[in-house]
Amino acid sequence: MDIVLLLKALLLGFIEGLTEFLPVSSTGHLLLVGHFLGFHSTGRTFEVLIQLGAILAILTVYGERLLKIAADAPHDPAARRFILGVLIAFLPAVVIGVAAHDFIKGVLFETPAVVCTSLVIGGVVLLLVDRIKFQVRYTDATNYPLRVYLAIGLFQCLAMIPGTSRSGSTIVGALMLGADKRSAAEFSFFLAIPTMAGAFAYDLYKNRSILTMDDLAVTAVGFVAAFITAVVVVRGLLDFVSRHGYALFAWWRIAVGLAGFAGLAVLG
């Protein structure tokens, strides 16, 4: 096993865990950094599979709460309604993700300029949304109206374009629909669980015949790094956005996107 390849996987896993739940596009960062490092995983599976490490990080923080919701579901209408809301929000990503999987992985993932453009545009949108004083109607991520859950799920589908950001799309959608900043970020966490678990399972199924033991070893290194880093981010993000909003992440997106364009111009 190439030690340099493992070090690259370690770095990319760290980047995944750091950025997955921030509205900055973890996939966009992985694809750009991987491009300039010369890292190209088999079938682009690495960039998808290590996201499950971030999922486990959510469960370390919200596991007890989610288990309580599941236990209450048989006799609590509110718990059943929240579970239904998450499934409703998840459904659009299933339909579009399956239908457009080959185009997303074969074309969009292989076009760094698309990533850079999405990062910059998304940063501008996030900056504008962060400055608008929307009327807050919802402060509990487990108690949105079902129509709001569906609308957030449709916003999430924008993240099929690498560089857009799954968490950024859902957070912006929730804010525009009347959620406060904290609950918008929290629901983005909850929706990530079925979304990324589904992406992991489907991508693994699609590429099962071409993956080697070396591919799995590289992925395992990135997976562990993503998990450890994401635990730290998830624990601190809600308090940060409650106090400071999303402007910092917007400027970061713009800076990374412009740096990516510069790197492409100089290095190709």
pLDDT at 110 over 70: yes
Separation of alpha carbons 254 and 23, rounded Å: 12
Choose the weakest-confidence range: 15-29, 32-46, 100-114, 233-247.
Answer: 233-247
Separation of alpha carbons 61 and 67, rounded Å: 12
Q: What is the pTM of this model?
A: 0.87
Q: Residue 42: its pLDDT value, please?
A: 84
Q: Residue 223: its pLDDT value, please?
A: 93
Mean pLDDT of 253-268: 93
Mean pLDDT of 88-114: 91
Q: Residue 21: its pLDDT value, please?
A: 85
Mean pLDDT of 114-124: 95
Confidence of residue 130 (pLDDT cuts 50, 70, 90): confident
3-state secondary structure 168-233: HHHHHHHHHCCECHHHHHHHHHHHHHHHHHHHHHHHHHHHCCCCCHHHHHHHHHHHHHHHHHHHHH
Mean pLDDT, rounded, of the chain: 91
Domain count, the chain: 1
Q: Residues of the chain with pLDDT > 90: what percent? A: 60
Separation of alpha carbons 264 and 268, rounded Å: 4
pLDDT at 1 over 70: no
Q: Shortest CA distance to 18 belongs to which of 4, 6, 28?
A: 28
Q: Residues of the chain with pLDDT > 70: what percent? A: 100
Q: Residue 10: its pLDDT value, please?
A: 95
In DSSP terms, 138 is beta-bridged to 179
Mean pLDDT of 238-264: 90
Confidence of residue 254 (pLDDT cuts 50, 70, 90): very high
Q: Residue 265: its pLDDT value, please?
A: 92
Residues 22-36: tens digit of each pLDDT: 899 998 999 999 999
Burial per residue of 239-256, b for 16 or more beta-carbon CB atoms within 10 angstroms, e otherwise: ebbeeebbeebbebbbeb
Choose the weakest-confidence range: 3-12, 83-92, 143-152, 234-243.
Answer: 234-243
Confidence of residue 114 (pLDDT cuts 50, 70, 90): very high
Q: Return phi, psi of residue 138, to 5°.
A: -135, 130
DSSP 144: -
Residues 173-190: tens digit of each pLDDT: 999 999 998 999 999 989
Choose the weakest-confidence range: 44-58, 144-158, 168-182.
Answer: 44-58
DSSP 135: P
Provide the residue range defining the domain that includes 150.
3-267
Q: Which residues contact 48 (CB under 8 A, 6 or more apart)?
A: 199, 200, 203
Separation of alpha carbons 142 and 3, rounded Å: 45
pLDDT at 145 over 90: yes
- 56-59 long-range CB contacts below 8 Å, 24 or more apart? 56/227, 57/17, 57/226, 57/227, 57/230, 57/231, 57/233, 57/234, 58/21, 58/189, 58/190, 58/192, 58/193, 58/230, 58/234, 59/193
Here the tokens at position 163 are 């560089």
Contact 8, 50 (CB under 8 A): no
Residues 184-216: tens digit of each pLDDT: 999 998 999 999 888 888 888 888 888 888 888
Contact 166, 51 (CB under 8 A): no
